[in-house]
Amino acid sequence: MSAILPPAERLWWKHPLDRVEGTWIVIAFAWCMVMFFMMIYWHVYGKQNLSTETYKTTPDRFAAKAQAMVDKYTVRTETDQKIPVVAPPATEDVYMIARLWAWWPILELEKGRTYRLHLTAMDYNHGFSLQPANINIQVVPGYEHVVKVTPNASGTYSVVCNEYCGINHHQMVGRIYVK
């Protein structure tokens, strides 16, 4: 038998299973099981995967909630574009909008307090990459991603878009202050 010629016996599944073949099937299946349970194990014990909640939303609905937070808790504005800096109390849900090519608004959070950070994209896929903390979340239009965050060090954090989203992708940088 060769791989070039058609098999003499066309009904290949009626051939008896070779021992080597059977051994490889068992090895492959066992390895699949290891990798499958590793996904679950690593999610709980690996301390790398974020447990995000995700809900369906629309740009209008999300923007209304973000705007309500901005109207209530803006403490100042920054840059020429007058981006609001919002300092909501720790009991509140906080919102950040990704769109071509900016993050809005700037958040000012308190160290050691826990917030529910809601993220969405208004137009295309964007990526929420918190630097230098190395937290990465894909931000997808039509979906509201919710992450529980407890800032553990004060400072200025950059939010870098790490999903290529067009000509000004490299300028899509936001900011989170932790006091």
What residues make contact with ligand CUA under the rule CB under 6 A? 101, 126, 161, 163-165, 169, 172
Least distance to ligand CUA, CB of residue 158, Å: 13
Nearer to ligand CUA, 101 or 143 (CB): 101
Q: Reduced to 3 states, what is the DSSP secondary structure of residue 140? A: coil
Nearer to ligand CUA, 117 or 129 (CB): 129
Q: Reduced to 3 states, what is the DSSP secondary structure of residue 153? A: coil
Strands (E), the chain: 53-56, 74-78, 83-86, 93-99, 102-104, 106-109, 115-121, 126-131, 135-139, 143-149, 155-161, 173-178
Tokens of 125: 């896929």
Nearer to ligand CUA, 41 or 164 (CB): 164
Least distance to ligand CUA, CB of residue 78, Å: 20
Cβ atoms within 10 A of the Cβ of 91, count? 9
Q: Reduced to 3 states, what is the DSSP secondary structure of residue 169? A: helix
Least distance to ligand CUA, CB of residue 73, Å: 25
Q: How many CA atoms lie within 13 A of 29 on its CB side?
A: 6
Nearer to ligand CUA, 69 or 161 (CB): 161
Least distance to ligand CUA, CB of residue 90, Å: 28
Least distance to ligand CUA, CB of residue 123, Å: 9
Nearer to ligand CUA, 87 or 160 (CB): 160
Phi, psi of 44 (to 5 degrees): -85, -45
